[in-house]
Structure 1
């Protein structure tokens, strides 16, 4: 598999959740301003960049072959974790989203903490944090398997912006729930990890 296709799959796996969350927000008529989408995209890219830095530190103390395999195994582990979270769904509905940002991934509307009908102010950072959770492990793993960090971070920020914007527009025109798309990141990360292991 060419590096371009590999990066495409990786970026898609990390950012596709944004589309599903955007759809739910659009479906529920929860507003998110343009600048809010920009902030969330920026947070995703920066979290990937910072976590990749720690991954590069590990590369210097681990043999290249071992680093790549460790990164692949980590991606599979992250994928399995997100699949588990998808099937676990709403078992923690009573938790405060500020204490458990991951809850927002299962129910994006909880990011509207003040129930104002829009995500604004600190709530934008809450949603950005939730969407960035998978980029922490992915950033470390991406560095271990040798992905170009700056380019990948930029692509993740751009893809997050595009998918979240598109999702909100699409969601506003849908009449059924679309949360099942949240299964894709876990599946894609597992596939990418298996490809790197083979």
Structure 2
């Protein structure tokens, strides 16, 4: 395993956890807690989600010519990166509507939704993971949040698997990094840090994805 290949895997694991970091920061600003056990569950789901999506990408690559698979995987990574940069930049330009979203949360009833039904809602707004408004993400709530975060990164994993990155090593990195970034995010979760890092973390992740895609396509 070359040094550059090792770095690319770590970068991919970091990118897969950008949402986790942003959630940690935003939870910190709202004084929401994620206990250690809940954090481990989220990290496990993140790691398993990364592994499964990359294995799917690797299976698809077995059908294709190795060069074609690498180019296709790199292309997917670049497209996702461009989409993230555009979407998140537009969100920053339009202004943050999180306070408005929080006002609407109290009017949303999740009691009648099962686990699967709650995941799309949490994808739209991670604060809905705390559906009992206890101020603490329980084990059950961490499962919902973990699945939502993992689903958000499926395209990255498929592209990385197609591009030929090692699924198991990347998944282990994703698990460890998830543990760290959520904890760090919550610790840093005050208004200044949120405004300077929370908003910029997603566009930065898109830029990193574009760089990874270009590297995999031409190196």
Q: TM-score, normalised by structure 2?
A: 0.78
Q: Which runs of 5+ in 2 are unaligned?
A: 109-117
Q: Which runs of 5+ in 1 are unaligned?
A: none
Q: How is 1:142-161 mapped onto 2 (pairs within 5 angstroms)?
A: 142-161=160-179
Q: 1:118 aligns with which of 126, 129, 136?
A: 136
Q: Residue 48 in 1 paired to residue 44 in 2?
A: no
Give the match's secondary structure for 1:118: coil
Q: Residue 194 in 1 paired to residue 214 in 2?
A: yes
Q: Which moved more, 1:9-18 or 1:162-171?
A: 9-18
Separation (CA, whole Å) in 2 of partners of 1:85 and 1:37: 27
C-alpha RMSD of matched pairs (Å)? 2.4
Contact preservation (8 Å) 1:68, 1:144 = yes
Q: How is 1:78-93 mapped onto 2 (pairs within 5 angstroms)?
A: 78-86=80-88, 87-88=90-91, 93=101
Q: In the comparison of the two structures, how many residue pairs are matched?
A: 193
Separation (CA, whole Å) in 2 of partners of 1:52 and 1:5: 17
Superimposed CA distance per residue, residues 14-69 of structure 1 (whole angstroms, 9 cap, x where no aligned partner) = 11332222111112100111100000000011011111221121111100000000
Q: Which moved more, 1:148-157 or 1:137-146?
A: 137-146
Compare CA radii of gyration and give the structure with the larger one: 2
Contact preservation (8 Å) 2:54, 2:157 = yes
Separation (CA, whole Å) in 2 of partners of 1:85 and 1:112: 25
Separation (CA, whole Å) in 2 of partners of 1:114 and 1:98: 15
Separation (CA, whole Å) in 1 of partners of 2:68 and 2:157: 17
Separation (CA, whole Å) in 2 of partners of 1:53 and 1:111: 28
Q: TM-score, normalised by structure 1?
A: 0.86
Separation (CA, whole Å) in 2 of partners of 1:98 and 1:196: 32
Separation (CA, whole Å) in 2 of partners of 1:159 and 1:25: 18
Task: Note the C-alpha offset of 1:121.
Answer: 3.7
